[in-house]
Amino acid sequence: MSTCSFFWEGRGTVATDNDLILVGLGANLANKLTVSPLATCQAALTKLREHGVHEHGSSGWYVSAPVPQSDQNWYINKVSIIQTHLNPEKLLETLLAVEQCFGRVRSERWGQRPLDLDLLAFKRIICKNSGKNHLNLPHPRMLKRRFVVDPLVEIAPQWSHPLTRKTIKEVAKEMQQEQKLLGFSSTIPDNSGNL
């Protein structure tokens, strides 16, 4: 039995920023299919389109220190607004399948990875450990990660968390700044070498 529920603010209306499907992308290892973590993330977006998952908008790219702190390589990250006909559980299944296509093996928690695709939020749906992949919505650690919060502020500053009801802009102001994060130009060449 699913433990998902819908949470609507107000009287059945949802603000534009709140009606979003959000996916976080990250990587800190190259793999045999691509030349860099950035190229892996770009290739993953192409692969997702083949499964009916389209990027509707996105933040720029960020480089972030690993969380928790370690001697791992830094990560490349961004947050994308997604459009899809898939329901949340099927979307999560698709994200996990694409991770596997690029060599992701879930053997070590918080270990290095060639690709990380996190379903951060699916409109106003709230889930706890739903389905075979234990879907949690919104993502339980998203408000503690600057590599999620800062990119999300960039693209949807008025988006509010379904549980806390705080806007992501408010969350960003309250966050401790100890996590290291650097933003850089969103005009990075794609896989074809085009800007």
CA angle at 96 for the pair 79 and 127, rounded to the nearest 5°: 75
Q: How many residues does the chain have?
A: 195
Partners of 63 in the beta sheet?
76, 182
Distance separating alpha carbons of residues 172 and 56, to the nearest angstrom = 23
| Residue 49 to residue 67: CA distance in whole angstroms | 29
Which residue is catalytic, options 104, 124, 145, 146?
104
**Does the annotation mark 71 as catalytic?**
no
Which of the following is catalytic: 11, 19, 106, 116? 116
Task: Report the Cα–Cα distance between both ends of the chain, in Å, rounded.
Answer: 46
Please tell me which residue in 11, 17, 49, 118 is annotated as part of the active site.
118
Tokens 């928690």 belong to 109
Give the containing element (helix H, strand E) for 76.
Answer: strand 75-84
Q: Please indicate whether residue 104 is annotated as part of the active site.
A: yes
Active-site annotation holder among 11, 106, 113, 124: 113
C-alpha to C-alpha distance for 118 and 167, rounded to whole angstroms: 20
Report the alpha-carbon distance of residue 68 to residue 48 in Å, rounded. 28
118 is catalytic: yes
Catalytic (active site) residue 116: yes
Catalogue the active-site residues: 104, 113, 116, 118
